[in-house]
A and B are shown apart, each in its own frame.
Chain A
């Protein structure tokens, strides 16, 4: 009984002390007051989902947040549901989201949503994912020249499998068709994993998967990476040149960023920026980046907003060229 009372006294003293501390005012000490809703703009099991859950586990393992991140998947409408959820967030200080390139394209394609991404709060760009051109080993193709020759010969019967309609993979397919005078047929699938399997089973002739989506089949020797849509060769695929090296000036990345709800207070934004900067520097994240061939430095605040505006303009131009806007 007495120990309980002492404990109580201690608690009261502590909370009084804390209150005093708060009054004397260190302004930066914003802390979440309840669990943080961690919206994932993609379905369960995909690359974006796995990454988001890794971020969450790094935060929780190191106890960097006094309140838990509670992940929730909102894949509906190519991220439309997630964007609207953030836009209408009742408590913007406790609502953040992991996002990808549909962050730019979905509001463009679905103007009815009324989403303006410049109103969102830039927290951190954690990485940029890369794309490569893949074929099945059975095709005997080992470089881009052979690929172009084979695809030209097959014409419209050359099947390029990719994720979604008018999303990243189709933009890249469109680029290849234009750059090499090809007429590949693009077939959309629901996720990168499904796309990778189409190639491994010889149901598609080529794909433009992320390394993380093909890594299993690549390790087993089933699929071959021909070239990368990156600035420099990837460490994991030293034999695959970049399209830049091959004389086509085209690079394309997928952002892996954390964004806060519109209307988030400056204090809360500062808190999340500091939190994800810590995650970025953690050994767990470094290991994940290396394993999945992720590129791109940490971008935060205004720099991230500038990056979004630049990327949005690029995507608008690409979609316009394809007649999708």
Chain B
């Protein structure tokens, strides 16, 4: 009952004219960014975060959450129409969405994606409303050792679940950690890593500078190179009759949508997992449980419904650990987390007790954003299709200007602009060398939380590391984190020995 009361208050906040307007604008902008090849929710949130310093924190997060949501919807559009995932979260949508478009069923695929997203969003927000306060109740029990254990877990999941090249992931984390330690060291009271005594390094390297550099400038350069400026489009016809028949067929996929939503939500909660693995897993499960698995990959509606329901559900799920524990569940929420710190809010167990208006305003606005996203999406399908035809050579400069303004706004320091351009070029080169960049952004956001917590814990324990395993909350978390870190190492060794054995048998 208490929750309903809070939620009602939240709706009052969400429906303030300014906030409602921000939801609508955010969803529309997000849809468009998501629909652009190569740009996803991470890019949208990173580039537009500085704009939010103009409004109060609650409105700011509502705006960003709306962009996040919109981008999740929008990602499907370029997956289906261009065969290029709008973002990594929409990769699974291309598997069946693209074949449907090639068969001339693009409109059906788009509607399926929109409605599945809406379904996934709704289910996940209901789950969010139910779970968040329970997790928030551990509130004050989190001291430094517990916080460090959580941070360790976040890094571990990135290494363990990342699945990519593990040494490269660790390298990327290390780069982020080094950047995060530039500036004033709070424990010793001394400045450190102030390169060449440049005063601009005194305030440290703002995560936003790194994030915009990598996700704005670096990504844009990457997209220009890959698409050569003109991605390929397929045609679509939108009529009322076709829409109605599409809806009828969609009704039969409700079980798939439900499965995708629940699965996506819980995978989304896992730190660092995020929406991409969530949607891929949902696609896999949908195929396994389907009565006609052979149709998957050839244009099966359920193959669009499952990942789209899952990636929207996961995006809500990923907000839960970010708000309640201060651990971002995805790169996008890592950026939101950084934003909250700038707005003067402390994510973590206390947020639900200290900032009820913020938390419930955000929750309520998720309901609103979800509703607006589906309406705007369906109404604007023809517009998006037209806009996607705009040459990238027109869009790229617009994005570039947004990046520069965004990098300058928070500190009003040219130093940050140069740094950002450097990160853009560096990020582009690292990407060409197949380095995952999300871990670096994660590290620069979490580093300043993890490092002092580690050192403060060790000061409390007089340098004894057992403080992390002997306490009731930090103990289990630390152990899980260590197992996750070593899991890939074991797998690596096992694969090796297997290979050796095979080599021996030959």
User: Which A residues fall within an 8 A CB radius of B?
Assistant: 44-46, 49, 72, 74-78, 80-81, 84-85, 109-110, 112, 156, 159, 164-167, 185, 187-190, 193-194, 197-198, 200-203, 216
Out of A84, A188, A193, A200, name the residue touching B186 (CB < 8 Å): A188
Out of A76, A112, A187, name the residue touching B184 (CB < 8 Å): A76
Structural contact, B186 and A165, CB atoms closer than 8 A? yes
Out of B142, B186, B204, B354, name the residue touching A164 (CB < 8 Å): B186
**Which residues in B have their C-beta under 8 angstroms from that of A187?**
456, 459-460
Q: Which of B143, B190, B199, B204 has the most CB of A within 10 A?
A: B199
Structural contact, B344 and A49, CB atoms closer than 8 A? yes
With A76-B203, A78-B184, A201-B141: A165-B189 Cβ-Cβ less than 8 Å: yes
Out of A49, A81, A156, A188, name the residue touching B202 (CB < 8 Å): A81
> B188 within 8 Å of A by Cβ?
yes
Structural contact, A200 and B344, CB atoms closer than 8 A? no
Smallest beta-carbon distance B51→chain A, Å: 16
Out of B203, B344, B412, name the residue touching A45 (CB < 8 Å): B344
Smallest beta-carbon distance B66→chain A, Å: 23
With A81-B202, A200-B140, A201-B143: A165-B345 Cβ-Cβ less than 8 Å: no
Smallest beta-carbon distance A322→chain B, Å: 11
With A45-B344, A72-B412, A198-B143: A84-B189 Cβ-Cβ less than 8 Å: no
What are 25 A-B pairs at a CB distance below 8 A? A44-B342, A45-B345, A72-B412, A74-B411, A76-B183, A76-B184, A76-B199, A77-B191, A77-B202, A80-B202, A81-B203, A84-B199, A164-B186, A164-B189, A165-B190, A167-B189, A185-B459, A187-B456, A188-B187, A189-B456, A190-B452, A193-B346, A194-B346, A201-B141, A201-B142
A216 to B350, CA, bound (A): 12
Residues 363-406 of B, flagged 1 when their CB comes within 8 A of A and 0 if not, give 00000000000000000000000000000000000000000000
A115 to B142, CA, bound (A): 40
A74 to B203, CA, bound (A): 7
Out of B142, B189, B194, B342, name the residue touching A78 (CB < 8 Å): B189
CB nearest neighbor in B for A166: B189
Smallest beta-carbon distance A311→chain B, Å: 19
Out of B183, B188, B350, name the residue touching A165 (CB < 8 Å): B188
- Of the four ranges (under 10, 10 to 19, 20 to 34, 35 or more), the interface on chain B belongs to 20 to 34
**Which residues in B have their C-beta under 8 angstroms from that of A76?**
183-184, 199, 202-204
A152 to B33, CA, bound (A): 61
**Which residues in B have their C-beta under 8 angstroms from that of A72?**
411-412
CB nearest neighbor in A for B412: A72
Q: Which of A45, A84, A109, A193 has the most CB of B within 10 A?
A: A45
**Which residues in A have their C-beta under 8 angstroms from that of B142?**
201
With A190-B186, A201-B140: A159-B460 Cβ-Cβ less than 8 Å: yes
A193 to B187, CA, bound (A): 16
> B222 within 8 Å of A by Cβ?
no
Q: Which 9 A-B pairs have the closest CB atoms?
A: A45-B344, A165-B189, A76-B203, A76-B202, A203-B143, A201-B140, A77-B202, A81-B202, A44-B344
A201-B140, A202-B140 known, 16 other contacts, Cβ within 8 Å: A45-B345, A49-B344, A75-B203, A77-B184, A77-B191, A77-B203, A78-B189, A81-B203, A85-B199, A165-B186, A166-B189, A167-B189, A189-B452, A190-B452, A193-B346, A216-B354
**Which residues in B have their C-beta under 8 angstroms from that of A75?**
203
Smallest beta-carbon distance A195→chain B, Å: 11
Smallest beta-carbon distance A133→chain B, Å: 20
**Which residues in A have their C-beta under 8 angstroms from that of B184?**
76-78, 80
Chain B, range 327-345, C-beta contacts under 8 Å to A: 342-345
**Which residues in B have their C-beta under 8 angstroms from that of A81?**
199, 202-203
> B308 within 8 Å of A by Cβ?
no
> B144 within 8 Å of A by Cβ?
yes
Structural contact, A45 and B143, CB atoms closer than 8 A? no
**Which residues in A have their C-beta under 8 angstroms from that of B202?**
76-77, 80-81, 84
CB nearest neighbor in B for A49: B344
Structural contact, A77 and B186, CB atoms closer than 8 A? no
CB nearest neighbor in B for A74: B203
A281 to B189, CA, bound (A): 37
A255 to B313, CA, bound (A): 50
CB nearest neighbor in A for B350: A197
CB nearest neighbor in B for A167: B189
A197 to B343, CA, bound (A): 19
Smallest beta-carbon distance A271→chain B, Å: 23
Smallest beta-carbon distance A106→chain B, Å: 10
A75 to B140, CA, bound (A): 27
**Which residues in B have their C-beta under 8 angstroms from that of A203?**
143-144
A159 to B139, CA, bound (A): 21
A86 to B199, CA, bound (A): 12
**Which residues in B have their C-beta under 8 angstroms from that of A159?**
460
A122 to B462, CA, bound (A): 44
A165 to B192, CA, bound (A): 14
A112 to B194, CA, bound (A): 13
